[in-house]
Amino acid sequence: MTNVLLLVLDTARRDALTPSGAPAVADLARRGVAAPHAHSAACWTLPSHAAMFTGLLPRAAGLIRAPARTPHSCREVVLGQRDRLLPEVFRRAGYATSGISANLWIGEHSGFDTGFGEFHSVESGRQGGLHDPSARARARWAREAARARVDDGAGAARAIIERWSTEAPFFWFVNLNECHSPYLPPKPYSDVGLLGRLRAAEEARRYLTLEAIWRACAGGLEVPDEALERMRHLYARSIELMDDWLAGVLELLDARGALDDTLVVVTSDHGENFGENGLMAHAFSLDERLTHVPVVAAGPGAEELEGLWSLADLPRALARATGIAHPWGPDLCKGVAVSEFDPPTGPDDERVLRSAQEWGVGEAGLRAMTTPLTSATDGLLKLVRRGTDEELFDLASDPLEERPLGASDPRAAHLHAALDPSPVAIEAQPEASAEELAEIEERMKLLGYM
Residues 143 and 44 in one domain: yes
Is 432 found in the same domain as 414? no
Please tell me whether residues 310 and 394 are part of one structural domain. no
Asked if residue 138 and residue 69 are part of one domain, the reply reads yes
- CA torsion angle for 220, 224, 229, 231 (degrees, to 10)? -50
Q: In the chain, how many domains are there?
A: 2
**Partners of 7 in the β-ladder:** 174, 266
Instruction: Give the model's pLDDT for residue 448.
Output: 45
Q: Can you give the pLDDT at residue 270?
A: 98
Any domain includes 344: no
Q: Could you tell me if 10 and 272 are in contact, meaning their C-beta atoms sit under 8 angstroms apart?
A: no
Residue 219 backbone phi and psi in degrees, to 5: 95, 15
Do 80 and 157 lie in a common domain? yes
- Residue 249 CA to residue 255 CA, distance in Å, equals 10
- In a domain, residue 340? The reply is no
**CA 268 from centroid of its chain's CA atoms:** 6
SS3 of residue 394 by DSSP: strand
- On whether both 74 and 160 belong to a single domain, the answer is yes
Write out the residue range of the structural domain in which residue 29 sits. Answer: 3-334+427-446
Is 412 found in the same domain as 440? Answer: no
343 located within any domain: no
**DSSP state, residue 126:** G
Same domain, 372 and 297: no
Helix (H, G, I), strand (E, B) or coil at 247: helix
Residues 135 and 191 in one domain: yes
Within a domain: residue 432? yes
Q: Looking at the structure, tell me whether residues 325 and 354 fall in a common domain.
A: no
User: How confident is the model at residue 425, as a pLDDT?
Assistant: 37
Residues 124 and 25 in one domain: yes
Residue 431: per-residue pLDDT? 43
CATH number for position 133? 3.40.720.10
Is 339 inside a domain boundary? no
What is the structure's pLDDT at 435?
Answer: 55
Distances in whole angstroms, Cα of residue 126 to Cα of each of 149, 159, 188, 193: 10, 19, 17, 19
Does 362 fall in a domain?
yes
Residue 378 neighbours by CB distance under 10 Å: 18
- Measured distance CA(376)–CA(283) in Å, rounded: 18
Residue 328 belongs to some domain of the structure = yes
* Domain match, 246 and 386 both: no
Strands (E) across 102-177 are located at 118-121, 170-176
Tell me the C-alpha distance between 222 and 431, whole Å: 36
Written as tens digits, the pLDDT of the chain (450 aa) is: 999 999 999 999 999 999 999 999 999 999 999 999 999 999 999 999 999 999 999 999 887 654 445 788 888 888 999 999 999 999 999 999 999 999 988 999 899 999 999 999 997 666 556 777 888 888 989 999 999 999 999 999 999 999 999 999 999 999 999 999 999 999 999 999 999 999 999 999 999 988 899 999 999 999 999 999 999 999 999 999 999 999 999 999 999 999 999 999 999 999 999 999 999 999 999 999 999 999 999 999 999 999 999 999 999 999 999 999 999 999 999 999 999 999 887 767 788 888 888 999 989 999 999 999 999 999 999 999 999 999 999 999 999 999 999 888 899 999 999 987 644 433 333 444 455 445 444 544 444 444
